[in-house]
Amino acid sequence: MGVEIAVTGLTKTFGSQTIWRDVTLTLPAGEISVMLGPSGTGKSVFLKTLVGLLKPDTGSIVINGRDLTQLREHDLYEVRKLFGVLFQDGALFGSMNLYDNIAFPLREHTKKTEAEIRRIVGEKIELVGLQGAEGKLPGEISGGMRKRAGLARALVLDPEIILFDEPDSGLDPVRTAYLNQLIVDLNAQIEATFLIVTHDINTARTVPDNIGLLYHRHLAMFGPREMLLSSEEPVVRQFLNAQRVGPIGMSEEKDADELAAESGQELPPLPPIALQLPTSDGSVRRTARPAGEWCRTNGVTPPPGSFESSTVAAGAIAAPTVATSGEPTVTSPSTSPYAGSSTLVGEVG
């Protein structure tokens, strides 16, 4: 069902290098959150700290009432079972076929019989759309398929939390769209808590319920998707709109001269906020909020054109979405560039 992760005052250093300090956020149970940030701001370190592979200097990470940072190795091992992790390259064993790769955690961490393992592996393979590829070696399949296999392996112990480390790295835009759809569909189905680290702005703008931004050794902002997409805060605005003008420079912060040179430059208006990527079968995710709700509740006027079906998330397959009224409506096939697309399950690219 997914569990909440409450992070408070988290600080991580390596020697004299502070990676980030005083990070406080709550990943809500069952929701999809994305963590963004320029390269080297410690997103991977954050994921590794959450799962207990790295120890923070200070702060707490509370899951089910237990602070991970205070657990002994044995108890930490138990809590780690709540997590499934999709590593960047899928982290598959090159000499094992996909079936054995996916079965590996079950054979390693459970006493299940081979018959039970066959049932579970078959179920996860179907979930990620890899039927027929079980006998292939990782080196014989595409990057997209390797990600799917890595995801199936992350799912076999039925995790409550799934961490995705740059799931879209190395994928072309079409494969990224399919993977994003799979992530949304999977979240609807298993209702686990998802945290995705990504550099892909389209993914960040359209997939999650919440967005966070790490910048300059701290968490610049974390909150509902609409809050960040309507934010005028310079760092958030620059990053989420992939602009050069703003405080972030080539090697992180711009110096005073660079900023002075930009003064007076007019920023382009905020682009419309797209509808969140719907599930491919039209089911409404339990944690999805009606489009525009956060803006309305907080008295924020979203950028013109927001939440119109023409701004539906790129990659969306024609399917019912939740409209501003809170009632499900159907994205008209005639307005969807993907009208007539079949389900993603058969796609194994």
Ligand X SMILES: Nc1ncnc2c1ncn2[C@@H]1O[C@H](COP(=O)(O)OP(=O)(O)OP(=O)(O)O)[C@@H](O)[C@H]1O
Shortest gap between Cβ of 162 and ligand X (angstroms)?
17
Give whichever of 2 and 59 is closer to ligand X, judged by the CB atom: 59
Give me the least distance between CB of 197 and ligand X, in Å please.
7
Judged by DSSP in three states, 97 sits in coil
- Count of CB atoms situated within 10 Å of the CB of 341: 17
Distance in Å, CB of 121 to ligand X, minimum: 30
Strand 161-165 versus strand 83-86 pairing type:
parallel
8 Å CB contact between 2 and 26: no
Distance of alpha carbon 298 from alpha carbon 231, whole angstroms: 12
Interface size with ligand X, residues (CB under 6 A): 10
Distances (CA, A) of 109 to 53, 71, 162, 295: 18, 20, 18, 45
Least CB distance to ligand X at residue 239 (A): 12
Nearer to ligand X, 42 or 159 (CB): 42
Which CB, 180 or 198, lies closer to ligand X? 198
CA distance 332 to 317: 10
Give the end-to-end CA distance of the chain in Å, rounded to a whole number: 29
DSSP, res 327: S
Which are the contacts of 209, defined by CB distance < 8 A and separation ≥ 6? 28, 31, 32, 33, 224, 225, 276, 287, 288, 289
Least distance from ligand X to the Cβ atom of residue 153, Å: 21
| CB closer to ligand X, 136 vs 216 | 216
Residue located via tokens 């799917």: 148
Which residues fall within 8 angstroms of residue 234, CB to CB, at 6 or more apart? 246, 247
Q: Mask 45-84, x = binds ligand X (CB under 6 A)? A: x---------------------------------------
The three-class DSSP label of residue 309 is helix
Nearer to ligand X, 216 or 296 (CB): 216
Contact positions with ligand X (CB under 6 A) in 190-219: none
CB closer to ligand X, 45 vs 177: 45
Distance CA 74, CA 29 (A): 25
Sketch the per residue contact string, 92 through 121, with ligand X: x for CB under 6 A, - otherwise. ------------------------------
Least distance between ligand X and beta carbon 266 (Å): 30
- Least Å distance, CB 213 to ligand X, is 11
Q: Which is nearer to ligand X, 14 or 77 (CB)?
A: 14
| Residue selected from 14, 78, 297, 329 as contacting ligand X according to rule CB under 6 A | 14
Q: Which of residues 16-45 bind ligand X (CB under 6 A)?
A: 19, 37, 39-45
Q: Which candidate, 232, 230, 184, places its Cα nearest to that of 208? A: 184
Tell me the closest approach of the beta carbon of residue 43 to ligand X, in angstroms.
4
Residue number with CB closer to ligand X (37 or 90): 37
Task: Kindly list the residues in this chain that would bind ligand X in the complex (CB under 6 A).
Answer: 14, 19, 37, 39-45
